[in-house]
A and B are shown apart, each in its own frame.
Chain A
Amino acid sequence: MEINDLYRDVILDHNRQPRNFGPLEPADASVEGFNPMCGDHLTLRLRLNEDTISDIRFEGQGCAISTASASLMTEAVKGKHRDEALKLFDRVHQLLTDDAAPPAEELGKLAALSGVREYPARVKCASLCWHTLASALKSTDPKSVPAVSTE
């Protein structure tokens, strides 16, 4: 495993210039995610049109993996139905943790995250934003979702 397989160009690009980064006002849901082990945190805000994610933005501070993962995630789920986004969450979770995960071509740019699974200490960096999103989407009251922690 080479370090370039973890820090692929897509990851470096989304770290340098994160997409959908910044506040979103007003928002239908606002959820915070923490990684207490490393002190990283992010705030994820989204607008829902019926059951479709019409807009989504994030802010906070984290490493390249966590920033790029959040940036890629916002691009991937914007415009998607809640159920589709949750399916994608399951698929990415599998990609990050399961060595036997099937090829990831259909995931598009998100496939760049597959390098993370060779670095167990960094899986939480990549998955924090996804857990935060899932928590917002699964909540019956998106206005008051408790903060998500990786620990």
Chain B
Amino acid sequence: MKNLALTHPDLAFDVEAARRHFPILSRTVHGRPLVYLDNGASTQRPQSVIDAVNDYERRHHANIHRGVHTLSQEATALYESARDRLVRFVNARSRTEIIFVRGTTEAINLVTQSYARPALQPGDEVLITHLEHHANIVPWQMVCAQTGAKLVAAPMTAQGEIQLEAVIALMNPRTRILACAHVSNALGTVLPVRRLVAAAKARAITTLVDGAQAVAHMAVDVRDLDCDFYTFSSHKMYGPTGVGVLYGREQLLERMPPWQGGGDMILAVTFEKTTYNALPYKFEAGTPNISGAVGLGAAVDFLSSLDRKAAHAHEDALLHHATAVLGRIPGLRIIGTAPQKASLVSFVVAGVHPHDLGTILDEDGIAVRTGHHCAMPVMDFFKLPATARASFAFYNTIDEIDKLAAGIERARKIFA
């Protein structure tokens, strides 16, 4: 494997050292070293995350916020210290703004049902974009059906770009909410979210940014973005599955009714009246995914221990190499060519259906995603039923991308 630090002295990222943190990367698939290029679907876990979850399960587990006994206090301290890490990770103002949820999907559903449903009137508009993941389309369709509001999708260019002016052109006095991705999962496009949020804010439009595909690739500062809500999932940023975060501006969260009722979200219950708990607990009914939150906290620590600028530069180098190498394969067409992209490449190969390609690459130990990427409107836009997608993490190498290219050539030969 090439050492980028040697070939590019300005990129001081030691990819081999980074790989050693991830035990799964040393396994084989069908007798070949695993080449894991499906990080957009889920990233792998470093040993420190595995250890944190393991240590929690072996030594500290009990229910949180309930017991006076030692284990409950330890579990509570671990869970809440994970929240503290997330406050710093996204630069929230306080712990009250970080709600633990199951993942991005649940975070968006919480906002649509608890914030949007009481706020929307018939004829109001919710503005999204053409490249959203289904998780940032369907919950809005549901709340629009419940309230009589209208869902409007801002157009996308042929490169898969969302242009600021095109979104602004759709903002009008009935627009109440702008909900958009930070990074497109299907195309890799990075949206101009800071400017989109500023334009929305100038028109008193509430903003939600779906950061599921962003947090692993870039430092996110919710105060700098100035959005009202920001959502992300643990398992797409090297943490465990089943846990994620809703960041919400405190003034908005305060005004919102609880989404789910139950234990932990109350202060006092009688049959006549329930007094809800304070933020963030008002939105965390029932026993949460404690070990997941602990693992997510460890993932934040892991990311913070990296030189994220160097890691980002390495991912950028991977993107440029992949774009160049795949672009040279006859009949291969890259889908999504926006100037600002995260490190993923969506593509189709003439004469080779993405699913056949996925199976053939798997024989070489190479994992890519094939299908519609839960973004059917994007596929319809490009008139494709599916694409193949290679999505990179900082632990991927130039050599792995060359293996991908060789695998695609092999598939072309089979179907020639």
Contact = CB atoms under 8 A, between A and B. Distances in A.
Q: On chain A, which size bracket covers the interface?
A: 20 to 34
Contacts of B371: 37-39
Contacts of A37: 371
Interface stretch (A45-53, A56-64, A82-90, A132-140): A56-64
B367 to A, nearest CB: 12
Interface in A115-150: 119, 121-122, 125
A39 B385 CA distance: 5
A78 to B, nearest CB: 25
A21 interface: no
B360 interface: yes
A8 to B, nearest CB: 11
Contacts of B359: 3, 6, 119, 121-122
A40 interface: yes
B386 A12 contact: no
Interface residues of B, number: 16
A40 B385 contact: yes
Given A7-B356, A38-B372, A64 B363 contact: no
A115 to B, nearest CB: 11
Contacts of A125: 355
A48 B359 CA distance: 37
A121 B372 CA distance: 16
A64 B386 contact: no
A65 interface: yes
B385 A61 contact: yes
A63 B353 contact: yes
Given A62-B353, A122-B359, A39 B414 contact: no
A6 B370 CA distance: 18
Contact of B360 (A3, A38, A41, A62): A3
Contacts of A15: 415
A60 B214 CA distance: 36
B86 interface: no
Nearest to A122: B359
B14 to A, nearest CB: 35
Nearest to A41: B385
Contacts of A63: 353-356
Interface of A: 3, 6-7, 12, 15-16, 37-41, 61-65, 119, 121-122, 125
18 contacts: A3-B360, A3-B363, A3-B414, A7-B360, A12-B415, A15-B415, A37-B371, A38-B355, A38-B370, A38-B371, A38-B372, A39-B386, A40-B386, A64-B353, A64-B356, A119-B359, A122-B355, A122-B359
